[in-house]
Amino acid sequence: MAVMPQDPQIAGAGALLAILRDGRARTRAELAQLTGLARSTVSQRLDALMQDGWVVATEDAISSGGRPAAAFVFNESVRVVLTADLGATHARLAVLDLGMSVLAERAVELHVDRGPRDTLGRVVAEFETLLAGLGRELAQVCGVGVGLPGPVDHGTGRPANPPIMPGWDGFPVPEWLGERLGAPVLVDNDVNIMALGEHWTVGQDTDHLIFIKIGTGIGCGIISGRRLHRGAQGAAGDVGHIRAVLADGGSAGDAVCRCGNIGCLEAVASGASMAAELRAQGVAADGSRDVVALLRAGDTRAARLIRQAGREVGGVMAAIVNFFNPSVIVIGGDIADAGEHVLAGVREAIYSRSLPLATQHLTIRASRLGDRAGVIGAAAMVVEHVLAPDMIDQSVQARAVDPAAPVG
Ligand SMILES: [Zn+2]
């Protein structure tokens, strides 16, 4: 992007918008008081924000006496965000406004093993259908967030050796989608965006949260200091390949994992491993959803496996609680639908093996968002990026220099 000449009068517009994002309407006088800026400076910045539609004027009804003063409020509906949470065989897509309200969404069957062009082409078509249903256009899209079921290089947004996504390694997902959707595209792995979604539901008061997904595989997303912790190579949170210590003191030593090691948590406590165990016992079960369906139908073998899996996940999490000291642990993924059957085991292992100081104020619960955690989290990721004060400053500066410049 070209370096824009800086207009100091509007350079702080992004910071002003950040104040208004809580949804409260404020007058110029209130904003001047909050920021310590001259009222004329506040006015110029508000004008720049209004020109781009980020802020709209309203009338302050609670103004004391006389004519109501003009108040200004964040315009959540001025643009929309598109998000897609891709799993191995299913995807969920959504359109949200900047206040994180879901305007439209749909779940579709979509197989990522058909390669990136086929899969992403379908994602573009689904987005266009959702937008058309809302009477919105691509020009109103300010950003796109995508979650993929595999490792993603955070710097480039490209998949990095994803095991279940043939043809995707190094594919330029942000560029490919950006060309077709005309907006910046942020990509991360599915567990990370689910962690962002769950963190969004608990609010900014929670600094440290772990989201653990128990589905076909097992992985976790780490929110540290209110930010996603990805690690040096984006591999942080890969708890599925930590060696499991069985709750009964036994060894998971002979369970072979898909990573090639033996005794991994994923090899003994994932939906795939439980389904395999049930098949070995002569029970028809293809994957994690079948395991939960069997539990609900009263199958005691499935119930025993799920409780045991909870204890094994808890055993690994107990070490992580001691090491990381989160205040919230959220359990998601298909197996989380087993509710207390899995949560009880997780709690039991964590409370018996973590230090009391670390568990004193620890909340362990099932996901509140369920299947929607990914699309909500991807939207949170995009909104934070698009509405970051320096991005807003760039956007209003570009418009001040060239009124025909695209917004957002
Ligand atoms: Zn492994």
- CATH number, domain at 130? 3.30.420.40
Q: What is the pLDDT of residue 4?
A: 47
Same domain, 142 and 267: no
Residues 209 and 349 in one domain: yes
Q: How far is the CA of 220 from the centre of ligand 1 (A)?
A: 14
Residue 197 resides in a domain: no
pLDDT of 252:
56
Residue 399 lies in a domain: no
Q: How far is the CA of 304 from the centre of ligand 1 (A)?
A: 23
Cα angle, residue 56 at apex, residues 52 and 61 outer, rounded to 5°: 170
Ligand 1 center to residue 163 CA distance, Å? 12
Amino acid (one-letter) located at 239: V
Considering the domain architecture, whether residues 124 and 37 belong to the same structural domain is answered as no
C-beta of residue 99 within 8 angstroms of C-beta of residue 123: no
* 179 and 113 in a common domain: yes
Ligand 1 centroid to residue 49 C-alpha, Å: 50
CA of 342 to the centre of ligand 1 (A): 21
Let me know if residue 6 belongs to a domain: no
Beta bridge partners, 143, equal 81
Q: How many whole angstroms from 231 Cα to the centroid of ligand 1? A: 19
Instruction: Give residues with Cβ within 8 angstroms of 169, minimum separation 6.
Output: 159, 160, 161, 162
Contact 130, 140 (CB under 8 A): no
**170 and 318 together in one domain:** no
Structural domain range at position 131:
80-183+373-385
The residues placing their C-beta within 5 Å of ligand 1, an ion, are: 241, 257, 259, 261, 264
**Amino acid, res. 270:** S
**Domain co-membership, 47 together with 160:** no
User: Ligand 1 mean position to 371 CA, how many Å?
Assistant: 25
Distance 59 CA to ligand 1 centre (A): 60
Q: In what order do the strands lie in the sheet with 363-366?
A: 227-228, 218-224, 209-214, 328-332, 363-366
> Ligand 1 centre and the CA of 273: distance in Å?
12
Please check whether residues 109 and 142 belong to one and the same domain. yes
Query: What is the SS3 assignment for 148?
Result: strand
Q: Is position 284 within any domain?
A: yes
Distances (CA, A) of 241 to 4, 9, 193, 235, 237: 47, 53, 20, 11, 10
Cα within 13 Å of Cα(56), Cβ side: 8
Q: How many whole angstroms from 82 Cα to the centroid of ligand 1?
A: 33
Separation of CA 381 and ligand 1 centre (Å): 29
Amino acid, res. 172: P
My answer on whether 259 and 347 are in the same domain is yes
Print the SS3 string covering 154-192: CCCCEECCCCCCCCCCCCCHHHHHHHHHCCCEEEEEHHH
Same domain as 209, residue 140? no
Q: Are residues 259 and 339 in the same domain?
A: yes
Q: Measure 265 CA to ligand 1 centroid, in angstroms.
A: 7
The pLDDT assigned to 350 comes to 95
Report how far ligand 1's centroid is from the alpha carbon of 264 (Å). Answer: 5
Angle at 327 between CA 192 and CA 303, to 5 degrees: 70
Compute, in angstroms, the gap from residue 57 CA to the centroid of ligand 1.
56
In a domain, 191, yes or no: no
Which residues neighbour 393 within 8 Å (Cβ) at sequence distance 6 or greater?
Answer: 10, 11, 12, 13, 14
Per-residue pLDDT of the chain (408 residues; tens, 9 = 90+): 444 455 656 678 999 999 999 989 999 999 999 999 999 999 999 999 999 999 999 875 555 566 677 899 999 999 999 999 999 889 999 999 999 999 999 999 999 999 999 999 999 999 999 999 999 999 999 999 999 999 999 889 999 988 889 999 999 999 999 999 999 999 999 999 999 999 999 987 899 999 999 998 999 999 999 999 998 888 899 999 999 876 555 555 678 888 889 889 999 999 999 999 999 999 999 999 999 999 999 999 999 999 999 999 999 999 999 999 999 999 999 999 999 999 999 999 999 989 898 999 999 999 999 999 999 999 999 999 999 999 999 988 887 777 666 555
- pLDDT at residue 61, rounded to an integer: 56
Last residue of a domain, one of 75, 108, 124: 75
Residues 212 and 348 in one domain: yes
- Nearest in space to 169 (alpha carbons), one of 185, 183, 158: 158
Domain presence at residue 408: no
Q: 333 CA distance to ligand 1 centroid (A)? A: 18
The pLDDT value given to residue 1: 42
Give the C-alpha separation, 128 to 236, whole Å.
34
**Residue 174 belongs to a domain:** yes
Distance 160 CA to ligand 1 centre (A): 17
Residues 6+ apart with CB under 8 A from 207: 223, 224, 225, 226, 327
Q: What residues are paired with 73 via a beta bridge? A: 56
Residue 363 lies in a domain: yes
Closest to 84 (Cα-Cα) out of 76, 93, 73, 72: 93
For position 59, what pLDDT does the model report? 72
Whether residues 253 and 358 fall in one domain:
yes
| Structural domains of the chain, count | 3
pLDDT, residue 89, reads: 87
CA of 219 to the centre of ligand 1 (A): 11
> Torsion over CA of 346, 88, 130 and 334, rounded to 10 degrees?
-20
CATH of the domain at 21: 1.10.10.10
Residue 297: CB atoms within 10 A of its CB come to 8
CA of 240 to the centre of ligand 1 (A): 6
Of 229, 237, 208, 220, give the one whose Cα is nearest residue 324.
208
